[in-house]
Amino acid sequence: MVRFTAHIEKFGQMGEKTGWTYVKVPAAIAIKLKPDCRKSFRIRGKLDDLEISGMALMPMGEGDFILALKTELRRKLLKRAGDTLKLALEEDTIPYELNPDLLLCLKDEPDAFAYFNTLTSSHKVYFSKWIDSAKTEETKASRIAEAVIALSKGWGYPEMLRARKA
């Protein structure tokens, strides 16, 4: 477990990351978590006293990484940009379990299931986490239906989201 303290930062204009709130994980610390890694990987541990798991460190170049802090998480921590955060992190090697209801529904739609199985594991997780984040069973069922329809059209997660906005 690697322990360190960092300031919470917020991106200004930064392409797709504009407005993101995050903690920078310097290369020297990232190497201790997962040596010689230059791509995103999952971590678990504690932010202050809050247990976390399945969150991703994302590469930012020069060996540095960032840990994005969503609004919901910041509310639990009672933190915002500029505040200090104590981190105790390690690589999370426990495999992510895809939403079982999504998998069950996909088995009834062979074309959608076949396309889903061609996706990278991270893209499969996007669909699953989107479904898992639903606050009601009704929303969850609606999202599963949307995902199955999108997958049957050969759409990935980003294409589905763009179609939802249109």
pLDDT for the residue numbered 95: 84
Q: How confident is the model at residue 119 (pLDDT cuts 50, 70, 90)?
A: very high
- Tell whether pTM > 0.85: no
Contacts of 108-117 with CB under 8 Å at 24 or more apart are: 109/148, 109/151, 109/152, 111/152, 112/148, 112/149, 112/151, 112/152, 113/151, 115/151, 115/152, 115/154, 116/151
What is the set of domains in the chain, with CATH numbers?
2-91 (2.40.30.100), 100-165 (no CATH)
- How confident is the model over 141-158, as pLDDT tens digits? 999 999 999 999 999 999
Inform me whether the pLDDT recorded for 14 exceeds 80: no
Determine phi and psi for 81, rounding to 5 degrees. -55, 135
Inform me whether the pLDDT recorded for 106 exceeds 80: yes
Secondary structure (3-state) at 145: helix
Q: Is the dihedral of CA 132, 133, 135, 139 positive or negative?
A: negative
Q: What is the mean pLDDT of residues 38-44?
A: 93
As a three-state string, the secondary structure of 76-133 is HHCCCCCCEEEEEEEECCCCCCCCHHHHHHHHCCHHHHHHHCCCCHHHHHHHHHHHHC
Q: Which of 88, 22, 96 is nearest to 52 (CA)?
A: 88
Q: What is the mean pLDDT of residues 76-85?
A: 96
